[in-house]
Chain A
């Protein structure tokens, strides 16, 4: 860990906040993707649509 001196709080909070925001948007995007894929598969199965959209 580098010596951040008197500004350690500002630097560490900046990195922590950035990583938290990025983790949140990545997590939300993955969850939405899984939900949409499951919902489409369920509908295609129920209504007999053969071709899936990837």
Chain B
């Protein structure tokens, strides 16, 4: 298949009917894989890994904190790409995908902030500090909340998609800052990345394996929720179109 043909076939999935068919077939498999990965990663990490010599049993928080924080940033990045596609190509599915992803991303930030506070209290002696990464994460959470509120506040779906896309792109600066804050400002309490392609900087293997499985579980859970929620948004949009055509109002 030529690259041009491959690119055109990707855009075909922006067609809502095609998306519903494909997502309907994929959803049960993705949900099952998410449950399997998440269950394996969390049970392995919680029950079958040793305590850390410095952090004691609090190291077990890594299996939820790191995947949630990673997803919080990556979900926002996905929303930014989807928003850009909406603004440039006006594919409704991309705008609905960004809308559908936002509450899941907000939950990921909330988990990262809560578990970070519960990890920080015994290890740093404080649940919160105005550290670059913590602060940028808090701002990212408010961007998620603002994005969700803006969708809810505007009645016209296309106008809402335009406004929220611009807001999302502005907020993507904070997603980048959240990711690289510990490198931009070499200060604060938060450590560098726990996972890296550079093996020297990774956590020890005994923690790394269940962590990667848990990370895969969080990603698959997000994907399953995204498919489910985009399907819901497409149905709501179709219901709105039927009501408008029948003169019943939106």
Partner of A47, one of B23, B111, B242: B242
- Supposing A17-B115, A22-B107, A25-B103 touch, asked if A7 and B57 sit within 8 A by C-beta, the answer is yes
Check if B20 sits within 8 Å of A40, measured CB to CB: no
Check if B121 sits within 8 Å of A10, measured CB to CB: yes
CB-CB nearest in chain A for B18 = A54
Report the minimum CB–CB distance from A34 to chain B (whole Å): 9
- Supposing A5-B56, A25-B107, A54-B20 touch, asked if A14 and B238 sit within 8 A by C-beta, the answer is no
- Supposing A13-B118, A15-B46, A32-B232 touch, asked if A25 and B104 sit within 8 A by C-beta, the answer is yes
Report the minimum CB–CB distance from B184 to chain A (whole Å): 27
CA distance A15 to B122 in the complex (A): 16
Check if B58 sits within 8 Å of A10, measured CB to CB: yes
Partner of B65, one of A14, A30, A49: A14
Report the minimum CB–CB distance from B139 to chain A (whole Å): 20
Q: Which residues of B contact A14 (CB under 8 A)?
A: 61, 64-65, 114-115, 118-119
Q: Name, among B119, B221, B229, B234, the residue most crowded by chain A CB atoms within 10 Å (CB to CB).
A: B229
- Supposing A21-B111, A25-B104, A40-B235 touch, asked if A5 and B57 sit within 8 A by C-beta, the answer is yes
Q: Which residues of B contact A49 (CB under 8 A)?
A: 242
Convert A1-16 into 0s and 1s, putting 1 for each residue whose CB lies closer than 8 angstroms to a CB of B.
Answer: 0111111101101110
Report the minimum CB–CB distance from B64 to chain A (whole Å): 5
Q: Name, among B60, B104, B243, the residue most crowded by chain A CB atoms within 10 Å (CB to CB).
A: B60
Check if B107 sits within 8 Å of A21, measured CB to CB: yes
Partner of B17, one of A13, A40, A53: A53
Interface of A is mostly: helix
Q: Which residues of B contact A26 (CB under 8 A)?
A: 225
Check if A25 sits within 8 Å of B225, measured CB to CB: yes
CA distance A26 to B46 in the complex (A): 22
Check if B47 sits within 8 Å of A2, measured CB to CB: yes
Report the minimum CB–CB distance from A24 to chain B (whole Å): 8
Report the minimum CB–CB distance from B144 to chain A (whole Å): 12
Check if B56 sits within 8 Å of A6, measured CB to CB: yes
Q: Which residues of A contact B115 (CB under 8 A)?
A: 14, 17-18
Q: Which residues of A contact B122 (CB under 8 A)?
A: 6-7, 10
Check if B239 sits within 8 Å of A2, measured CB to CB: no
Partner of B239, one of A11, A30, A36: A36
User: Beyond A15-B46, A26-B225: 14 further Cβ-contacts under 8 Å?
Assistant: A2-B47, A4-B60, A5-B56, A14-B114, A18-B114, A21-B107, A22-B111, A29-B225, A40-B242, A43-B242, A47-B245, A53-B16, A53-B234, A53-B238
Closest 3 CB pairs of A and B: A54-B20, A36-B235, A4-B57
A-B contact pairs, 9 of them (CB 8 A): A5-B51, A5-B57, A6-B122, A10-B121, A14-B65, A17-B111, A26-B225, A33-B231, A53-B16
